[in-house]
Structure 1
């Protein structure tokens, strides 16, 4: 563990018309055992009361950018470039951190560690990294999830680039796989750090998410036939929920 937890963590949130859910995230950040973090909010020029709610937050180290963007990953890229943390966490406006999250992540930082992944709740399920290969489990072979469940060293973007606008739903999958397949050091933190919201694009657009994940797998894996077979099976399963 690094002496005195010297690494500062930034939490980055992309918002757009999130007045119905953002307060829960705010309260979860206020409840953190370790309050030494920065909250970077990148708002896509909301037309509801989102900005009004955010501007009333005076007890957190919050920075706000509000301007039109090209979707969540464009917003996250802005936040990464503007934040001051050496590591960052992504949190959706409908996500909630448990009070131990920042403290547990910070205490897990060691020299040479690029990514720290922890467990997250989604409904009645606890998501953990899969014990398997990336051709089958994609980024989940290494991590539990992107939002809440992954602490990312900011410097990785200098080596592997920022989130691609070519993948408006699964750009995080492409970035995480590029990092992990090319030597990034991943640490698994066996703690539950938060609850993932289910109103985001990846949860709502299940078919779009499936298709885009398949596109990323084609780019990052060798066997196109195996990926196509897996994609068809997953697509058929997801169509049951439409």
Structure 2
């Protein structure tokens, strides 16, 4: 597989993000390697989101847009992945940004490794996040293998033919379930030390921390981790984050 043979799709789920998406568009326009397609699955925005995305076609080589009501982010991502034509895809939120060399680095890493998951470092604004060490799956779940789902992970698109698409039974942690099931099924992970971009941690997982912890617990038990250990970890995490959880509930 030559470098030019590796097509990367950047997929973004949007809904009324007119204030956030210009920074993402700018970061895509600044890519040193423009051999990628941007696939936007919009949930039926009624602000200027679609106008901004359409205008991006003047500075980006390949933009695909599908706008219709959906059932949330994973419904939108499933739609985007099915529309995408890339060998690999990279999930980037409307409030995230890529570093100028991200596409070039991912394409090179995908070509050289031929792995199913190619994971890089993520700038969270507080720290540079990589794969958790030590790689204890019982403690970190998918983050024992990858830095995160958005911004820092190129995913071989054909994995969905083997392991299905993102489950709509989960609203926050469906990506975690998919990654773990793929790894259990033999998917190969390749780790790299370039910083792929900035991930905004202020999404749904931050706004509803209790639901995030509960879904993480469900995922871990679903993939075969000890329910007793996971229940204990859930209790400890709730206690540790009790102040933030109470703030979310106000």
SS in structure 2 of the partner of residue 233 of structure 1: helix
Once the 2 structures are TM-superposed, how far is the Cα of residue 22 of structure 1 from its aligned partner?
0.3
Q: Whole-Å Cα distance in 2 between the matches of residues 176 and 219 of structure 1?
A: 13
Q: Whole-Å Cα distance in 2 between the matches of residues 165 and 134 of structure 1?
A: 23
Specify the alignment match of 1:59 in structure 2.
Answer: 59
- Which residue of the other structure, out of 138, 144, 148, is the alignment partner of 2:147? 144
Q: Whole-Å Cα distance in 1 between the matches of residues 98 and 228 of structure 2?
A: 39
Specify the alignment match of 2:195 in structure 1.
Answer: 192
TM-score normalised over the length of structure 2: 0.94
Q: Whole-Å Cα distance in 1 between the matches of residues 202 and 15 of structure 2?
A: 13
TM-score normalised over the length of structure 1: 0.97
Question: Is 2:80 the counterpart of 1:79?
Answer: yes
Query: Where do 1:15-94 residues align within 5 Å?
Result: 15-57=14-56, 58-60=58-60, 61-94=62-95
Q: Whole-Å Cα distance in 1 between the matches of residues 207 and 95 of structure 2?
A: 13
Q: Whole-Å Cα distance in 2 between the matches of residues 202 and 29 of structure 1?
A: 25
Deviations 1:72-124 (A, max 9, x none): 00000000000110100000000000001000001112364100000001122
Specify the alignment match of 2:132 in structure 1.
Answer: 130
Question: Is 2:161 the counterpart of 1:158?
Answer: yes
- Contact kept? 2:3, 2:108, Cα under 8 Å: no
SS in structure 2 of the partner of residue 172 of structure 1: helix
Q: What is the CA RMSD across the aligned residues, in angstroms?
A: 1.1
Unaligned 5+ runs, structure 2: none
Query: Compared with structure 1, are the counterparts of its residues 108 and 5 closer, same or farther at alpha carbon in structure 2 (3 Å cutoff)?
Result: farther
SS in structure 2 of the partner of residue 24 of structure 1: helix
- Which residue of the other structure, out of 207, 222, 228, is the alignment partner of 1:204? 207
Unaligned 5+ runs, structure 1: none
The 4+ residue runs of structure 1 with deviation greater than 2 A are: 2-5
- Contact kept? 2:18, 2:48, Cα under 8 Å: yes
Q: Whole-Å Cα distance in 2 between the matches of residues 224 and 4 of structure 1?
A: 44
Q: Whole-Å Cα distance in 2 between the matches of residues 182 and 143 of structure 1?
A: 16
- Which residue of the other structure, out of 94, 114, 117, is the alignment partner of 2:116? 114
Aligned residues: 241
Once the 2 structures are TM-superposed, how far is the Cα of residue 133 of structure 1 from its aligned partner?
1.8
- Contact kept? 2:98, 2:151, Cα under 8 Å: yes
SS in structure 1 of the partner of residue 78 of structure 2: helix
Specify the alignment match of 1:100 in structure 2.
Answer: 101
- Which residue of the other structure, out of 212, 220, 224, is the alignment partner of 1:221? 224
